[in-house]
Structure 1
Amino acid sequence: MSGAPGRGILAGLRLTSLRLRLVVVFALVALTAAVSASGIAYWLNREAVLTRTQDAALDDFRREMQNRAAALPLRPTQAELQNAAEQMADGGDYSVVLIGERDAGKPITGVSDRDDFTLEDVPQSLRDAVDDRLDVGAGNPAPYHLYWQRIDRGGAPYLVGGSRIVGGGPTGYLLKSLGQEREDLASLGWSLAIATLLALIGSALLAQAAATTVLKPVHRLGEAARRLGEGKLDTRLRVSGTDELAELARTFNKTAESLETKVADMSAREESSRRFVADMSHELRTPLTALTAVTEVLEDEADSLDPMIAPAVNLVVSETRRLYDLVENLMEVTRFDAGTARLVLDTVDVADQVTACIDARAWLDAVELDAERGIMARLDPRRLDVILANLIGNALKHGGSPVRVSVRPGDTELLIEVRDHGPGIPEEVLPHVFDRFYKASASRPRSEGSGLGLSIAMENAHIHGGDITAANSPDGDGAVFVLRLPHDGEAAADCEAAESGGPGDGGNGTGRDTGSRGPDAAHGEEGPR
């Protein structure tokens, strides 16, 4: 159980880069402060310890030199020097070397411990300083002074000091071990290092707590933004406090409220527009049906009409037929927009379906079919006919013969390719070929088609779970439309039924066939070329 908080902290560090940056910044600040404080404390304590030990040893040595070395004769014997050095060493925690002169130019030495300290252990620079006679003046009352130096011998620290008796007498040197002080300073260093480590750990914990406090509102804001992006426009944040994060939450709530209002308004307008188009199309069908019947009679009698009247009759016939197709296409688009379009699946031979589509529109002489019989797929035959009629009709109208239709089975999908031999599709038009009412040329806004054929074909492909792509032939000879449909549309039909709440064809009666009423239907849609 004790490892759980640690794992939580590590998980938080791995998952949140901002959290990691906060912890690192806190740790660096704490580390810098702790190292600086520890370094200063160590340096101050080191100087204090060494200075105290050094001053105590040098003061004691100075007194011993005044009390014992100064009491020796001007020309002491070897024994007197030796005895004085031993007495001085017994009085202090250090070794002593005394140097005198038996006769002029004949030095003698007294050593408290010859195995521990001899004259050879004294640095030459210290000896030169001790022997150097200074001029006596207002700023220098004595010709000789006490000098000291710290040395390292055998990896251990020592204090070496020396002085000379003023007015004549021996010169003395001491050797003081600083090993105990080094151990004390090492213990102090370890203590400061442990304190620094604890400070670092504490700063990491504080950073984690601070990051949690700061990042929880940020995390909630991120979750709210994600839900808002998923379409849950009623998402709001709970606001508490008066800091910057609270102000950010208030701004988010205001933005979400404004967005919800605007989206609701747009949805209402879109629904109103869709209902208007549907109602208008439905209301137009009745008079259009009557007009179509009349125009069919007029078309049959066109040959017997006055030559001056016949062109007007033919214009009325073609425009009435075009208007009827437009109304039918608008109703189909409205069903797609409302989500009421449904699949009526059947297992069909794809080659037979393509042949039937071409034959019904009298395109056998203009279309080359490359399709083997026996390629079975579970599709909606009526919607497949609509797709093929629009793709082939568009190729014949804007691409030119011969139009080649190829059917190829894949591992998971069915591919139907419609290729023409026309000028191709301009590159700037390609991204818009399936847009509704798109006209490639602004100079011809009116045409025989409604501009909805390819859009309806794409919608019918999507409802099957498929897609249509448009491109130019690599050899520059015409355009290529590729229809991709799954072999089994059952999954797509189930998905559509689940999303809408049940199966069925909604408002799209299966007996009505947009683009399948005859050779002139559905292939007159204005394409983008």
Structure 2
Amino acid sequence: MRWTSLRLRLVVVFGAVALTAAVSASGIAYWLNRESVLSRTQTAALKEFKQEMRDKAAQLPLRPTQPELEYTARQMADGGSGFSVLLIGERAEDKPVAGVSDQDSFTLDDVPQSLRTAVNDRQKVTSGNSSPYHVFWQRTERGGTPYLVGGTRIVGGGPTGYVFLSLEQEREDLNALAWSLAIATGLALIGSALLAQAAATTVLKPVQRLGDAARRLGEGKFDTRLRVSGTDELADLSRTFNNAAASLQKKIDDMSAREESSRRFVADMSHELRTPLTALTAVTEVLEDEADTLDPMIAPAVTLVVSETRRLNDLVENLMEVTRFDAGTARLVLDDVDVADQVTACIDARAWLDAVELDAERGMMARLDPRRLDVILANLIGNALKHGGSPVRVSVRTVGQELVIEVRDNGPGIPQDVLPHVFDRFYKASASRPRSEGSGLGLSIAMENAHIHGGDITAANIPDGGAVFVLRLPHEISEDPSEGFPEGFDDDHGHDRGHGLGRGEGGGAQ
């Protein structure tokens, strides 16, 4: 699961919040219980020790002997709650004597020096302090075991007493409490993860459905809709998506209907024009043959009619070709072609041999549609001759698995603002030349024919002057017409259009 996953982030956030809350609550609970347990044990032990000092140690003589101190210490320890007692008296001036309840468990060395000093420090008796001596205590450790050490003196003369109490049981109880809190924290973390999963599923499932619906909509399934339930923000989002999808579907349907109507109009118009154009072409051919015998005043008009009729014929054929591409009915008729021979044939058929330099090796074979390659070459070379000027250099080479054909001219190049639009339909570089010889479809049709081969055409300027068009085609192209091109294409118009489409239709791109 990636970190970018919203589900993972929700689980992590829930876990972090739960862990923080659980650790904070457990820490506070442990600290409060620890202080409560230790304070209760400590208060009870010191209270009992203080009472034993009053009841037993205070009964000792002013100068007790060691046996008397030991006997009293044992009595105090036996009557206490498991603590050891050390009593220190004076058998003579500055001659201390000590008695301990258990020599093995408690000695004077176990009493910190700071505690001894505090116990023996005589305080001034005031209205706020009625006793010169008080009970002092300190927590310490010996051998890793915690102990409570306390001490006090008998007021008015008498022995000094120290108590030594093990806190091992309290530590075990607190350790058990800590383990319980740790387990509770772990369970809280697991519970939060499960809750996060449930929450993520509840929240993300509608989001996932929305994402799937958006993908289907992007794939063109404009009838995609979401089931809306509830009144929360996700339900509002689903309603918004459905409204947007319905609006988009309506607009797409309207655009498709208009596009289909326009395509049908262009196709019908082109087909309807073919019959009168055929008659006009026949008449113009007769007139062209008789041009030398016509009146000199009429001859220019005849020449203009012949030229414009051919131009109209080319435009109709181009429109029909564009219609086939738009309808998706264009397909390839593949054959093994010697590329050098194909380029030579294209140049020779249009009488461009004197204006074109060819750099191609014979025997360079490729499997492609020879008619469509002829269309591409005729448009690229014709465009270069019309707008770039001769000589035009055509080079053919193989790069990896691609066939690369470059067409270079010696003209001024393509303006930078025109360069991105050279393959657009009906685009002409100069608005002042709306009636140029080209229709603005030639390069567009060349690009479509490159795409149908699985290739591409790029246009650029040469640093030392001129423009270059580069055609890239794969060596091997699938013969399966279902791969991107619908079956059922009536290609009866294809092979007789070589001349009409091969007249250098550049559309004024440069």
Give the TM-score range, shorter chain. Answer: over 0.9
* 2:410 paired with 1:421: yes
The 1:123/1:488 distance shift into structure 2, 3 A limit, reads: closer
Superposition CA RMSD, Å: 2.0
SS of 1:491's equivalent? coil
Judged with a 3 Å threshold, the aligned counterparts in structure 2 of structure 1 residues 172 and 438 are, in CA distance, closer, same or farther, namely same
1:407–1:168 distance in 2 versus 1, CA, 3 Å: same
Instruction: Measure, in 1, the Cα distance between the counterparts of 2:271 and 2:369.
Output: 24
Assess if the C-alpha contact under 8 Å between 1:342 and 1:506 holds in 2. Answer: no
Deviations for 1:323-373, whole angstroms, at most 9, x for unmatched residues? 221111111111111112222233332222222211111111111222233
CA apart distance, 1:396:
0.7
Q: Partner letter of residue 525 of structure 1?
A: G
Q: Look up the match of 1:285.
A: 274
Residue 105 (1) aligns with residue 94 (2): yes
Moved more, 383-392 or 304-313: 304-313
- What does the per-residue CA deviation read over 1:12-48, in whole Å, with 9 as the maximum and x for residues that have no partner? x448611111111111111111111111111111111
Q: Provide the residue aligned with 2:75 in structure 1.
A: 87
How much does 1:112 deviate?
A: 1.6
- Once residues 334 and 265 of structure 1 are traced to their aligned partners in structure 2, the CA distance between those partners, rounded to angstroms, is 19
Q: Which amino acid aligns with 2:54?
A: Q
- Aligned pairs, how many? 509
In 1, the alpha carbon distance for the partners of 2:410 and 2:72 equals 125
Q: Is the 8 A contact 1:391 1:418 kept in 2?
A: yes
Runs of 4+ in structure 1 off by over 6 angstroms are: none
Q: Structure 2: state its 5+ residue gaps.
A: none
Query: Distance between the aligned counterparts of 2:168 and 2:142, measured in 1?
Result: 11
The equivalent residue for 2:325 is: 336
Question: Which amino acid is 1:420 matched to?
Answer: D
Structure 1 residue identity aligned to 2:42: Q
Partner residue, 2:258: 269
Alpha-carbon shift at residue 305 of structure 1 (Å) = 4.1
Task: Identify the match of residue 477 of structure 1 among 462, 465, 473.
Answer: 465
- Identify the residue that residue 499 of structure 2 maps to in structure 1: 516
User: In the alignment, which of 23, 35, 46 is matched to residue 47 of structure 1?
Assistant: 35
Letter of the structure 2 residue corresponding to residue 317 of structure 1: V
1:182 pairs with 146, 156, 171, which one? 171
The alignment-based identity, stated in percent, is 78
> Is 2:502 the partner of 1:505?
no
CA drift at 1:241: 1.5
Q: Does 1:73 align with 2:61?
A: yes
Residues 305-320 of structure 1 aligned to structure 2 (within 5 Å)? 305-320=294-309
1:252 correspondence with 2:236: no
Letter in 2 for 1:45: N
SS in 2 for 1:391: helix
2:46 paired residue among 30, 33, 58? 58
Question: Amino acid of the residue matched to residue 197 of structure 1?
Answer: G
Q: Give 1:292 deviation, angstroms.
A: 2.5
- Are the counterparts in 1 of residues 356 and 394 from structure 2 also a CA contact under 8 Å? yes
Q: Shift in Å at residue 166 of structure 1?
A: 1.3
Further displaced range: 418-427 or 224-233: 418-427
> What TM-score do you get using the length of structure 1 for normalisation?
0.91
The residue aligned with 1:4 is none
Please, which moves more after superposition, 457-466 or 221-230? Answer: 457-466
Tell me the distance in 1 between the aligned counterparts of 2:187 and 2:506.
79
Segment drifting more, 147-156 vs 227-236: 147-156
How far apart are 1:511 and its partner, in Å?
A: 4.0
Q: Report the counterpart of residue 463 of structure 1 in structure 2.
A: 452
User: Which residue of structure 1 lines up, in the alignment, with residue 346 of structure 2?
Assistant: 357
Is the contact between residue 133 and residue 144 of structure 1 (CA under 8 Å) also seen in structure 2?
yes
Q: Secondary structure at the match of 2:288?
A: helix
Matched residue, 1:6:
none
Shift of 1:507: 5.7
Q: Cα distance, 1:102 vs. partner?
A: 1.8
Answer whether contact 1:464 1:493 (CA < 8 A) is retained. Answer: no
Q: Which amino acid aligns with 1:527?
A: G
Q: Counterparts of 2:495 and 2:461 in 1: how far apart (Å)?
A: 36
Given that residues 89 and 96 in structure 1 are in contact (C-alpha distance below 8 angstroms), is that contact kept between their aligned partners in structure 2? yes
CA distance in 2, matches of 1:175, 1:143: 23
Cα distance in structure 1, aligned partners of 2:326 and 2:355: 34
Check the 8 A contact 2:10/2:200 in 1, yes or no. yes
CA distance in 2, matches of 1:387, 1:341: 15
Q: SS of 2:98's equivalent?
A: strand
